[in-house]
């Protein structure tokens, strides 16, 4: 009986990615490879393994092995022969949801939608789609808004990867102009991008659009948001792919920029649930997909997780995600890196760092509910300081490397954002110590108050740095507005309760309050939330028991001279997150605010006690003035 040998040929990783093979270059054989990173086409870098199978041949058959090698070579040639275009392939766009649903939006395998994909639900969207397409302005205006979003607003959280989104946007216009049926989920995403972009327009661009379109940018943004919401509600759950998750996140982003924090939190929950429907909460390590597809899924899920624990902490709400039932895989962050700027942080590095802090905190017993109690203060301090020590040089907490700030302004913005997040987390469980007179308190309580004051002062410094990054172009970035106000309000409470005038760093506290008044006075010219915060903060300042020397210190730090304020801004007034160049936006003094003058809160509070009956508006939904323990 003839003996036969059987073996299973293993898949062999190719010696080069498809792009390097096409260009006949030596590849570093890592994802993304050196050449793809240098050419900024990391999303096209992929390794296609040679097709192999079980090989069985007789001992004396010398032709079988050669035939097998020939078959493998032919299979490999078939896999590598098609030319790779300079744009993302259809596989990339499918997993990102940038192609119509009929072309499959889901990743094959265990996450695949086993139901047949038809255009029936697309047909049912005709009324909503017609409304959406009528609402959008002509192409030159959409191009302007899309580019503004990618150059500025996107760098706050980097929810869209610009190369693939830009390619999908181009294809969307091609289909639309040729009379084809465009993807409703991508149309919804374009509306969201335009709505958010209008919140981040530079002064001159805002004035130009309002003049040409005949409406205020806030009105236009609200209309885009409203139409996108109607279209989004018509898309069946789990049918919109990653695009649907991204546009829902941008909805939460839009709400947050409009100081509607509760609505933002609820929309975030919808985005998380949509992400779970397409399997983002499960490990993708064993799912057949490209590394780029896997990276995109990890990025979106990491962003949602980061927002979840921060929003829940800010609003004292329970976490939406159950980390015990979810797989949170950290993105590689190698897509944007290159050999020349290897130390330049990825635009998504700050989100990854915040995700890592959230993971560390959620492992602590009792923190899953989103409430940071005083019993966790020491453990939170330990984890946060350890987190600070993990920062790359550009984000360092003590002596950051600022050599990238001018050419890549997003680095400075994200640095201050990280610092604020860390100090806020450490301050929250011990903030109560700033609302009590601890003259006769125990040493531990006084030590707790000193820590709270130190965190508050550092939080104010970081908030001032972020203020200088965004002002005057993005005064409606309400994260910095609320951080400045909240820290200053509790420092006012500490001064009011300091009957013995022995408060730790009392002079620095007074100076910090004056600086907060100065910043809030400027921000109050542009947003309703800042205007409300300014009124409340000034009422608190009226209550401060200051000596004549302290009053001079306060006044010197709270000057409201317009020219000195503009000159004190260290960042260029026309800041783009991708370039430091730009025309001078001019002096913002005298510019009309983003809302009508008659909408600005103008309460008549002749006395501090009138705060009891004051309408706090949106601020009252996220901040309780009674927490200051002022006895009103």
Identify whether the C-beta of residue 130 lies closer than 8 Å to the C-beta of residue 269.
Answer: no
Q: What are the angstrom distances between the C-alpha of 214 and each of 136, 210, 589?
A: 15, 5, 23
Residues 538 and 407 in one domain: yes
- Compute the Cα dihedral for 368, 374, 375, 376 and give only its sign: positive
Structure tokens at 497: 């309760």
Q: How far apart are CA 386 and CA 384, in angstroms?
A: 5
Q: Note the pLDDT of residue 423.
A: 95
Q: Is 6 helix (H, G, I), strand (E, B) or coil?
A: strand
Here the CATH number for the domain that contains residue 22 is: 4.10.240
Residues 171 and 296 in one domain: yes
Q: Residue 201: which of 475, 479, 430, 578 has the closest Cα?
A: 475
pLDDT in tens, 506-539: 999 999 999 999 888 888 887 888 888 888 898 8
Q: Note the pLDDT of residue 96.
A: 45
Residues 42 and 156 in one domain: no
SS (H, E, C) 550-575: HHHHHHHHCCCCHHHHHHHCCCCCCC
Mean pLDDT of the chain: 78
Q: Note the pLDDT of residue 79.
A: 36
Residues 455 and 307 in one domain: no
Residues 520 and 402 in one domain: yes
* Residue 550, domain member (yes or no): yes
Residues 293 and 162 in one domain: yes
Q: Note the pLDDT of residue 10.
A: 52
Q: How far apart are CA 493 and CA 512, in angstroms?
A: 13
Question: Environment class of residue 582 by beta-carbon count within 10 Å: exposed (0-12), middle (13-18) or buried (19+)?
Answer: middle
Residues facing 7 on adjacent strands: 55
Q: Give me the domain span that covers residue 441.
A: 382-567+611-628
* Residue 275, domain member (yes or no): yes
* Helix, strand, coil fractions of the chain, as percent rounded to 5: 60, 0, 40
Phi, then psi, of 8 in degrees rounded to 5: -105, 120
Q: How far apart are CA 4 and CA 429, in angstroms?
A: 72
Residues 537 and 388 in one domain: yes
Q: Which of the given ranges, 332-336, 389-393, 527-531, 598-602, has the highest pLDDT on average? A: 389-393
* Residue 73, domain member (yes or no): no
- Compute the Cα dihedral for 8, 11, 15, 20 and give only its sign: positive
Q: Note the pLDDT of residue 127.
A: 83
Q: How far apart are CA 186 and CA 192, in angstroms?
A: 10
Which alpha helices (H) appear in 410-477, and where do they start and end?
A: 410-427, 443-470
- Segment 454-471 shows an average pLDDT of 91
* Residue 158, domain member (yes or no): yes
Domain boundary, last residue among 294, 315, 336: 315
What's the number of domains the chain is made of? 3
Phi, then psi, of 614 in degrees rounded to 5: -80, 140
Which residues lie below 8 Å from residue 620, measured CB to CB, with a gap of 6+? none
Average the pLDDT over each of 11-20, 94-103, 430-439 and give the range with the smallest value: 94-103
* Residue 485, domain member (yes or no): yes
Residue 105 has pLDDT above 50, yes or no: no
Domain boundary, last residue among 315, 348, 369: 315
Residues 413 and 533 in one domain: yes
Residue 1 has pLDDT above 70, yes or no: no
Identify whether the C-beta of residue 195 lies closer than 8 Å to the C-beta of residue 225.
Answer: yes
pLDDT in tens, 257-285: 888 899 999 999 999 999 999 989 888 77
* Residue 361, domain member (yes or no): no
The residue count of the chain comes to: 632
- Compute the Cα dihedral for 499, 504, 510, 515 and give only its sign: negative
Residues 305 and 413 in one domain: no
Residues 386 and 258 in one domain: no
What letter would DSSP give residue 235?
S
Q: Residue 505: which of 515, 490, 495, 517 has the closest Cα?
A: 495
Average the pLDDT over each of 50-64, 145-159, 215-229 and give the range with the smallest value: 50-64
- Segment 227-256 shows an average pLDDT of 93
> What percent of the chain has a predicted confidence (pLDDT) above 70?
74
Looking at 270-375, which runs of residues are DSSP E strands? none
Q: Measured between alpha carbons, how far apart are the two ends of the chain, in Å? A: 101
Residue 55 has pLDDT above 60, yes or no: no
Structure tokens at 105: 């939006």
Residues 29 and 167 in one domain: no
Q: Note the pLDDT of residue 368.
A: 56
Domain boundary, last residue among 46, 68, 87: 46
Q: Note the pLDDT of residue 270.
A: 96
Identify whether the C-beta of residue 166 lies closer than 8 Å to the C-beta of residue 174.
Answer: no
* Residue 577, domain member (yes or no): no
Q: How far apart are CA 161 and CA 167, in angstroms?
A: 10
- Segment 348-367 shows an average pLDDT of 87
Furthest-apart CA atoms within the chain: distance in Å: 110
* Residue 594, domain member (yes or no): no
Q: Residue 295: which of 595, 565, 36 has the closest Cα?
A: 36
Phi, then psi, of 482 in degrees rounded to 5: -70, -40
Q: Residue 622: which of 372, 251, 316 has the closest Cα?
A: 316
Average the pLDDT over each of 60-74, 235-249, 338-352, 511-525 and give the range with the smallest value: 60-74
Residues 29 and 163 in one domain: no
Q: How far apart are CA 182 and CA 205, in angstroms?
A: 29
Using CA atoms in the order 295, 299, 305, 306, what is the torsion angle rounded to 10 degrees? 140
């Amino acid at each position: 009986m003839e003996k036969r040998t059987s073996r299973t040929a293993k898949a062999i990783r190719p010696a080069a990615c498809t792009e390097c093979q096409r260009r006949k270059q030596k590849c570093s054989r890592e994802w993304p490879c050196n050449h793809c990173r240098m050419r900024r086409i990391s999303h096209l870098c992929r390794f296609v393994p040679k097709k192999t199978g079980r090989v069985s041949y007789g001992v004396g058959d010398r032709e079988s092995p050669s035939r097998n090698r020939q078959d493998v070579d032919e299979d490999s040639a078939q896999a590598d022969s098609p030319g790779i275009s300079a744009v993302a392939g259809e596989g990339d766009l499918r997993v990102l949801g940038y192609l119509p649903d009929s072309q499959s939006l889901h990743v094959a395998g265990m996450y695949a939608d086993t139901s047949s994909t038809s255009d029936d639900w697309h047909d049912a969207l005709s009324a909503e789609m017609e409304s959406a397409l009528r609402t959008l302005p002509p192409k030159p205006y959409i191009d302007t808004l899309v580019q503004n979003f990618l150059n500025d607003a996107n760098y706050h959280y980097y929810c869209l990867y610009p190369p693939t989104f830009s390619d999908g946007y181009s294809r969307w216009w091609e289909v639309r102009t040729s009379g084809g049926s465009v993807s409703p989920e991508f149309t919804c995403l374009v509306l969201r991008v335009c709505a958010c972009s209008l919140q981040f327009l530079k002064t001159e661009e805002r004035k130009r659009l309002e003049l040409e379109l005949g409406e205020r940018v806030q009105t236009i943004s609200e209309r885009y948001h409203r139409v996108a919401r109607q279209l989004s509600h018509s898309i069946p759950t789990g049918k919109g792919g990653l695009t649907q998750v991204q546009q829902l996140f941008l909805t939460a982003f839009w709400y947050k920029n409009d100081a509607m924090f509760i609505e933002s939190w609820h929309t975030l929950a919808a985005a998380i649930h949509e992400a779970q429907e397409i399997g983002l909460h499960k490990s993708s390590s064993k799912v057949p997909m490209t590394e780029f597809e896997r990276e995109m899924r990890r990025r979106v899920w990491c962003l949602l997780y980061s927002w979840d624990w921060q929003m829940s902490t800010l609003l004292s709400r329970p976490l939406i995600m159950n980390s015990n039932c979810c797989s949170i895989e950290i993105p590689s962050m190698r897509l944007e890196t290159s050999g020349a700027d290897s130390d330049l942080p990825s635009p998504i590095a700050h989100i990854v760092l915040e995700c890592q802090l959230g993971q560390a905190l959620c492992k602590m017993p009792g923190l899953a509910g989103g409430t940071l109690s005083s019993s966790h203060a020491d453990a939170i301090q330990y984890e946060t300081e350890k987190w600070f020590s993990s920062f790359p040089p550009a984000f360092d907490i003590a002596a950051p490397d600022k050599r990238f700030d001018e050419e890549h302004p997003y680095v400075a913005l994200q640095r201050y954002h990280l610092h604020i997040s860390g100090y806020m987390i450490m301050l929250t469980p011990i903030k109560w110590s700033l609302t009590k007179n601890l003259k006769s308190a125990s040493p531990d309580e006084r030590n707790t108050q000193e820590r709270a004051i130190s965190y508050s002062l550092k939080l104010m410094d970081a908030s001032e740095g972020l203020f200088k990054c965004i002002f005057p172009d993005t005064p409606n970035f309400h994260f910095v507005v609320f951080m400045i106000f909240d820290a200053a309000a509790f420092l006012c409470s500490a001064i009011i309760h300091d009957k013995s005038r022995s408060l730790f760093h009392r002079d620095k506290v007074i100076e910090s309050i004056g600086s907060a008044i100065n910043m809030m006075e400027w921000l109050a010219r542009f947003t309703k939330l800042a205007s409300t915060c300014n009124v409340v903060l000034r009422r608190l300042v009226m209550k401060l028991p200051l000596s004549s020397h302290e009053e001079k210190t306060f006044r010197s730090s709270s000057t409201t001279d317009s020219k000195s304020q503009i000159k004190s801004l260290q960042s260029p007034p026309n800041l783009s997150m991708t370039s430091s160049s730009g025309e001078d936006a001019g002096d913002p003094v005298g510019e009309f605010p983003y809302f009508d003058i008659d909408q600005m809160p103008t309460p008549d509070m002749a006395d501090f006690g009138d705060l009891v009956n004051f309408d706090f508006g949106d601020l009252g939904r996220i901040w309780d003035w009674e927490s200051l323990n002022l006895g009103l």
